C-alpha cells in the first residue's frame, strides 16, 4: 500500500506486541506499574480479541483494547485507554475513535460526545518508538486500514467532523497528536496541571494532523506560530489565556465539568444544536456575505420543525421541553 508520508506509513507498519511510546514527558516511562496497568486493561477487554464487544450493564457499549466507549445519558464518552503509554496513539485506539465518531453520528439518541483519556493523561501523540522502526501495535486491524486508508485521519478528526458537539476533557499531557486531535473538538475543558503543545519540530517532524492549517484559525496567529515553531509546552492557564481551551478546573474534575456542559447541550433542541454547529464550521472560510446566506439556508428550516414549536410551547407552559428530533 502506497502512502504519502512517513507519518502515514507508521499506520501500515504493524507489529503484534504493544509498544511504549509517546512524546516528551510520555517518553519517560517508569517501569513500575506498567505491567499492572497493561494487565488491568487486558482483564477489562478480555474476550474482545480486538473487535467490538456487546453492551454490558456498566453503560459501556463498543470499543477496542485502547479505546473505551460508554453511554452517560445522551452523551457518548470516548476514553483513550493506553495509560501506561500516556495514551500515545495506537491502531486499536484509532480504530476505536473512528468507530466512536461514526456511532455517534448514526445514533439519534446521542446528542453530545465527550473525549477524554485514562490514567491522568489525555494523549501524548505519536508513538515515537513505532515511528523509529518498531512498527505499531494492532495486527488485527490491518484489514481496516486496507479498506479505508484514510481511517487514521478520520479518527484524529482531520478528515471527519462529527455532527454532534464534541467536548474534550483533558487531564495531564495533551501534546503533539493530542493537541492536534484537540483542535477537532468544539469545547475544551482541562485540569489545571494539563500540558499542551506541538512538540513535532523538536523531533525534526511536521505536525501533519492539521495544526499548520487549523491552529491560526482558532487562536491569534502570533500565538499559533509560537506554539508551532518553538515546540514548547504550554500549561493549562496559558492555553486558556491564548484561547486554545475554554475552562481550567481543579485536577481530576475535567470529565465532570465536560459532562456538565454536555448535559446543558443535551437539554437543547438537537436539530437546532447540530444546525448551529454546522453553520459555524461551514461559514468559517466564507466571506461575511456568503456566510450570512449559508446561515439562512441552515437556520430557516429549523423554525419549521416540531421541535421548534415544542420549545416555544414549553416556554409558554413553563415546563421543560421534550424534543423528539422532528
pLDDT tens string 234-255: 999 999 999 999 999 999 999 9
Task: Tell whether the model's pLDDT for residue 14 goes beyond 60.
Answer: no
Of 24, 65, 84, 180, which residue is the catalytic one?
180
DSSP bridge partners of 196: 174, 234
Among residues 214, 27, 258, which one has the least CA distance to residue 129?
27
Task: Tell whether the model's pLDDT for residue 137 goes beyond 70.
Answer: no
The pLDDT-based confidence of 8 (bands split at 50, 70, 90) is low
Is pLDDT larger for residue 316 or for residue 141? 316
CB-based burial label for 180 (10 Å; 0-12, 13-18, 19+): buried
Task: Tell whether the model's pLDDT for residue 270 goes beyond 70.
Answer: yes
Of 65, 84, 171, 200, which residue is the catalytic one?
200
Q: Is 200 noted as a catalytic residue in this protein?
A: yes
Asked which of 34-48, 139-153, 212-226 is least confident by mean pLDDT, the reply is 34-48
Among residues 275, 240, 238, 274, which one has the least CA distance to residue 168?
240
Among residues 151, 145, 73, which one has the least CA distance to residue 107?
73
169-188: pLDDT as tens digits: 999 999 999 999 999 999 99
Q: Which string of b and e fits 77-95 if b means at least 16 CB within 10 Å?
A: bbbbbbbbbbbbbbbbbbb
Rounded distance between C-alpha atoms, residue 244 and residue 121, angstroms? 17
pLDDT for residue 10: 53
Rounded average pLDDT over 113-129: 91
- Which residue's C-alpha cell is 492555553? 239
Q: Is 310 noted as a catalytic residue in this protein?
A: no
**Are the beta carbons of 198 and 176 closer than 8 angstroms?**
yes
189-209: pLDDT as tens digits: 999 999 999 999 999 999 999
Task: Tell whether the model's pLDDT for residue 259 goes beyond 50.
Answer: yes
Rounded distance between C-alpha atoms, residue 169 and residue 53, angstroms? 24
Amino acid at each position: 500500500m502506497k502512502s504519502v508520508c512517513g507519518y502515514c506509513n507508521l499506520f501500515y507498519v504493524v507489529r503484534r506486541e504493544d509498544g511504549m511510546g509517546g512524546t516528551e514527558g510520555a517518553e519517560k516511562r517508569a517501569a513500575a506499574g506498567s505491567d499492572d496497568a497493561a494487565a488491568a486493561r487486558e482483564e477489562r477487554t478480555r474476550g474482545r480479541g480486538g473487535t467490538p464487544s456487546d453492551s454490558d450493564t456498566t453503560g459501556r457499549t463498543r470499543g477496542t483494547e485502547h479505546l473505551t466507549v460508554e453511554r452517560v445519558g445522551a452523551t457518548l464518552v470516548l476514553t483513550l485507554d493506553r495509560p501506561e503509554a500516556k495514551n500515545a496513539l495506537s491502531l486499536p485506539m484509532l480504530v476505536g475513535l473512528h468507530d466512536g465518531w461514526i456511532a455517534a453520528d448514526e445514533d439519534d439518541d446521542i446528542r453530545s460526545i465527550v473525549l477524554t483519556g485514562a490514567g491522568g493523561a489525555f494523549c501524548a501523540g505519536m508513538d515515537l518508538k513505532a515511528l523509529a522502526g518498531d512498527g505499531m501495535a494492532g495486527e488485527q486491524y490491518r484489514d481496516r486500514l486496507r479498506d479505508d486508508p484514510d481511517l487514521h485521519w478520520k479518527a484524529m478528526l482531520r478528515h471527519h467532523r462529527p455532527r454532534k458537539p464534541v467536548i474534550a476533557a483533558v487531564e495531564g499531557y495533551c501534546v503533539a497528536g493530542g493537541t492536534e486531535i484537540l483542535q477537532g473538538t468544539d469545547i475544551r475543558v482541562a485540569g489545571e496541571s494539563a500540558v499542551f503543545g506541538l512538540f513535532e519540530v523538536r523531533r525534526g517532524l511536521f505536525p501533519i494532523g492539521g495544526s499548520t492549517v487549523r491552529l491560526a484559525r482558532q487562536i491569534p496567529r502570533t500565538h499559533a506560530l509560537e506554539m508551532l515553531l518553538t515546540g514548547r509546552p504550554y500549561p493549562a492557564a496559558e492555553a486558556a489565556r491564548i484561547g486554545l481551551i475554554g475552562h481550567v478546573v481543579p485536577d481530576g474534575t475535567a470529565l465532570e465539568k465536560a459532562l456538565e456542559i454536555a448535559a446543558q447541550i443535551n437539554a437543547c433542541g438537537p436539530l437546532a444544536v447540530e444546525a448551529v454547529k454546522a453553520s459555524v464550521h461551514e461559514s468559517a472560510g466564507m466571506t461575511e456575505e456568503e456566510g450570512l446566506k449559508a446561515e439562512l439556508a441552515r437556520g430557516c428550516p429549523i423554525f419549521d420543525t416540531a421541535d421548534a414549536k415544542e420549545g416555544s410551547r414549553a416556554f409558554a407552559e413553563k415546563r421543560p421541553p421534550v424534543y423528539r428530533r422532528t
